[in-house]
């Protein structure tokens, strides 16, 4: 029997610092209802979907921003979203800032069933940005200051398939998709808050949209999985965030994409059985992978040029003859 899901990518427009949880949750519920009208089984919300992207600001006292964190989930302010999902019979994915009972802070996402039960939790592994105050930047990116990294990429059996989660910068690393793929992942859910401007190298700004889709499309294709990438977009506290939320097939093709930088839902029919077309042919891992050759991937982090390798400089004559 074919395993078909209707999935909605629920992009959010900007959330400003003065917007409270109640206002934001009302927007999420409105998008959830649009998902219901589109007959969605699952709606995917972005990274840090309940607040503004607060790591753009520095504070000497990290506790100053504790009000942006959720100490339990669901809590009183977010419970209406869970209630609405249960009433509508729609599952959802939600990104938020998590503070554990013992005071640890994470950039987190959860997967919630059609009955409003939490099926799984993921904590962002690849934290981007910097740890120190860098006031020269137009805006800062202090995730490595405010959050601790997660330590596991795992999958969950849900919605008749095998689902995985990743968050924002995780999508730029091929290891993310491969680790999920090696666990049989058929549908990866990814939320992001991505600035169009990249202060360390502004020459990349014009490529922001291209890079966003490049990594998700290649990850989908090379691992035979669906990928749903969902943005918080628009001008948030003076920072332009990329939109272009999309649903990508195991072929690497974009099946649906948002066209605004506002609250918007696009949906697509996701055939989980399509994954086998790639997992059992070109990307049959068991048949073709050579893990004994890939040892450097897990034995080192940075680049290590092998001993004895020297860069040969061409002289003028060599250049003329080339």
pTM: 0.95
> Which of 34, 40, 47, 236 is labelled catalytic?
47
% the chain with pLDDT above 90: 95
> Which of 124, 143, 186, 275 is labelled catalytic?
124
- Going along 71-160, which residue ranges are E strands? 91-99, 105-112, 118-123, 155-158
Mean pLDDT value across residues 172-180: 99
Enumerate residues 6+ apart whose C-beta is below 8 A from 294: none
Mind listing the pLDDT tens digit for each residue in 266-281?
A: 999 999 999 999 999 9
Mean pLDDT value across residues 144-173: 98
> Which pLDDT does position 311 carry in this prediction?
86
Tell me how far apart the 2 most distant CA atoms of the chain are, in Å. 76
**Residue 47 annotated to the active site:** yes
> Which of 168, 185, 239, 258 is labelled catalytic?
168
Predicted confidence (pLDDT) at residue 291 exceeds the cutoff of 60: yes
Mind listing the pLDDT tens digit for each residue in 236-275?
A: 999 999 999 999 999 999 999 999 999 999 999 999 999 9
Sole residue written with tokens 């068991």: 286
Mean pLDDT value across residues 108-127: 98
Three-state secondary-structure class, residue 204: helix
Q: Name the DSSP letter for residue 134.
A: -
Stronger pLDDT, 300 or 318, i.e. the higher one: 300
The third-level CATH classification (topology) of the domain covering 4-321 is Nitrilase/N-carbamoyl-D-aminoacid amidohydrolase (3.60.110)
Q: Give the domain ranges of the chain.
A: 4-321
> Which pLDDT does position 312 carry in this prediction?
84
Backbone φ and ψ of 77, nearest 5°: -75, -30
**Residue 258 annotated to the active site:** no
């Amino acid at each position: 029997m074919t395993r078909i899901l209707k999935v909605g990518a629920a992009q959010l427009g900007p959330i400003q610092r003065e917007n409270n949880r109640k206002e934001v949750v009302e927007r999420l519920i409105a998008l959830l209802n649009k998902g219901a009208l589109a007959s969605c089984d699952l709606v995917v919300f972005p990274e840090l979907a309940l607040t503004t992207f607060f790591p753009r600001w520095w504070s000497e006292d990290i506790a100053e921003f504790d009000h942006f964190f959720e100490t339990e989930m669901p809590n009183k302010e977010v419970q209406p979203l869970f209630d609405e999902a249960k009433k509508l019979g729609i599952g959802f994915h939600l990104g938020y800032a998590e503070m554990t009972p013992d005071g640890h802070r994470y950039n987190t996402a959860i997967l919630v069933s059609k009955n409003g039960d939490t099926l799984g939790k993921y904590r962002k592994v690849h934290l981007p940005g910097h740890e120190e105050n860098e006031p020269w930047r137009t805006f800062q990116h202090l995730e490595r200051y405010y959050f601790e990294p997660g330590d596991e990429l795992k999958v969950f059996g849900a919605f008749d398939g095998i689902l995985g989660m990743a968050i924002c910068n995780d999508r730029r690393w091929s290891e993310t998709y491969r680790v999920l793929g090696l666990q049989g992942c058929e549908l990866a859910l990814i939320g992001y808050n991505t600035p169009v401007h990249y202060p360390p190298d502004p020459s990349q700004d014009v490529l922001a949209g291209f890079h966003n889709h490049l990594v998700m499309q290649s990850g989908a294709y090379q691992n035979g999985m669906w990928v749903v990438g969902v943005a918080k977009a628009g001008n948030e506290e003076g920072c332009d965030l990329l939109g272009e939320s999309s649903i990508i097939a195991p072929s690497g093709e974009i099946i649906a994409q948002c066209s605004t930088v506002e609250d918007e839902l696009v949906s697509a029919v996701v055939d989980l059985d399509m994954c086998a077309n790639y997992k059992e042919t070109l990307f049959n891992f068991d048949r073709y992978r050579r893990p004994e050759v890939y040892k450097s991937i897990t034995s080192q982090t940075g680049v290590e040029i092998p001993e004895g390798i020297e860069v040969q400089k061409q002289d003028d004559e060599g250049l003329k003859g080339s």
